[in-house]
Amino acid sequence: MRRPNRTAVLFLLVGSLGFLLGAIFQAQDNNPITREMVAATENLIGLHFNEAKRDSMLDDLKDNLDNYQKIRTLTIDNSVPPALAFNPIPVGVKFDTKRKPPVWSAPTKMAVPQNLEDLAFAAVGDLAELIRTRRITSTQLTKMYLDRLKKYGPKLECVITLTEDLALAQAKRADEEIAAGKYRGPLHGIPYGAKDLLAKKGYKTTWGSVPYKDQMIDADAAVIQRLEKAGAVLVAKTTLGELAWGDVWFGGMTRNPWNLEQGSSGSSAGSASATSAGLVAFSIGTETWGSIVSPSTRCGVTGLRPTYGRVSRAGAMALSWSMDKIGPICRTVEDCALVFNAIYGPDGIDQTVVDLPFNYNPNVKLSQLRIGYLQSAFEKDTTNKANNEAVLAKLRELGANLIPIELPDYPVSDLSFILSAEAAAAFDELTRSGKDDLLVRQIKNAWPNSFRASRFIPAVEYIQANRVRYLVIQAMAKMMENIDVYVAPSFGGNNLLLTNLTGHPCVVLPDGFSRRGSPTSISFMGRLYDEATTLAVAKAYQDATDFHKKHPSLD
């Protein structure tokens, strides 16, 4: 879903008035930019100038167009960020810098089943204990998941590339290291899938898109490097909606394991589907505007969207430099904590990443925390009313004294073109080359049309929208002064877009099923860089329910 010198990229970032004039000028070759062209363009930007003012602009507009055309001669790779970096930190806010070792829950005492496939839905922590104690090997576990990927992956259309040779080599190395007493931690030997916008040397990185389906990137994404260092085993590159929108990619539509007639939602479509179906122990997804929350909801799994600037995006496809985030999709909250602990922190490349601790400890008392609930969103969400009310009742039962809250009152939905403008810049060459015609989805509500329309977003309006965004960030900080965590319907009101714009962390997890048997979800929102508390509260709720223990049947 929607979703350098560097100063030059700012002008490519948005389609200002000059871009329309540029298109007209290029179409008419040597014909000059005229007052009539300016007058026609004014309607697109909601302004009106008199004839004298239009006449005065003409030389500047021609100069701007010349600048644009010279900039367009440069090759700017998708990996190059703009020089203007988004900062989600409100004025005056300080963060705890004291580091404490994470506290993990005791693993479940599990016997090794005769049929190893019975472990397909086990939690990462439990699988880790079986591997650490050498009751199973990483190779055994990896082969089991590879078999399931081969069996069910085509049915779900959730895999772009099986990394079988790599996985078996990584599993073999993990087994040898563990046998030699070199245990790297709870992800050592654990098989996982990665959304195919993350680069891995030797394998295609397709971005789910026709123009890039044979793309090879000679680098490992920072997240892939971190997971390899932790000893995890990459078994598959999972599907994503083409260029990170929806669940339709160049090979088909990724399916919801609970209902094969339905897409898995997106854009982390394959990561959520494969995790839900027990084809991987966990997966990596990304979110710009709902791309972890939405497929996690549809597929009945648990996802963590970290704070903006927590996880390096180096080696990942850029869609929106000021909104993209990378996070885990798992079967349990603590699995998300385990994976996040391995991937967060600076890498020296992504300059937006902060160096702050992750002091996870699930041993919290809800009665001692200030937990809010988004009152109006709960009242208005009549579709999932019973499940939503059950969440609040369960939290109160666990000791929470719930505090009604409301989000800052700003026109949040009107800021969504920030994403559109940045995405159009990220795929500027695709649009200008005409290769956007190769994308699978060519309807109005799809990237090709959105990229083209976004060329006409004035640069001034893009900057003005980000100034309003600054105000929203300050207002959120004020609201969060009295709250440690708050709970909200996953798609309630403006919460999903607002918190993606402000960069706040979110844990989404199953809270029941609809009347038609489809999973539903609830979201816990935390303070900036405080994934630890957010995860702990979400875990307390999850431990008191069993929705995460229910799994789809694919046979």
SS in 3 state form for 261-282?
Answer: EEECCCCCHHHHHHHHCCCCCE
Amino acid at 144: M
Q: Which residue has the tokens 């060329």?
A: 455
What pLDDT shows up at residue 409? Answer: 97
What pLDDT shows up at residue 32? Answer: 82
Enzyme catalytic residues:
195, 267, 291
Separation CA 38–CA 45 (nearest Å): 11
- pTM, full prediction: 0.94
What pLDDT shows up at residue 31? Answer: 54
- In terms of Cα–Cα distance, which of 130, 129, 95, 103 is closest to 116? 130
Q: Which residue has the tokens 């791309």?
A: 291
Cis peptide leading into 105, omega within 30 of 0? no
Residue 173: which H helix or E strand, with range?
helix 164-179
In tens, the pLDDT along 73-109 reads 999 999 999 999 999 999 999 999 999 999 999 999 9
Which residues is 303 bridged to in the sheet? 329, 508
Which residues is 510 bridged to in the sheet? 521
Task: Name residues whose C-beta falls within 8 Å of residue 56's C-beta, 6 or more positions apart in sequence.
Answer: none
CATH architecture, domain 116-409+473-549: Alpha-Beta Complex (3.90)
Where do the structural domains in the chain lie, given as residue ranges?
4-76, 116-409+473-549
Output the six-digit token pair for 213.
């389906």
Which ranges of the chain have pLDDT less than 70? 1-31
Q: Which residue has the tokens 């993606």?
A: 500
Give the single-character DSSP code of 504: -
In angstroms, how far is CA 511 from the centroid of its own chain? 21
What pLDDT shows up at residue 18? Answer: 45
CB atoms within 10 A of CB 343: 25
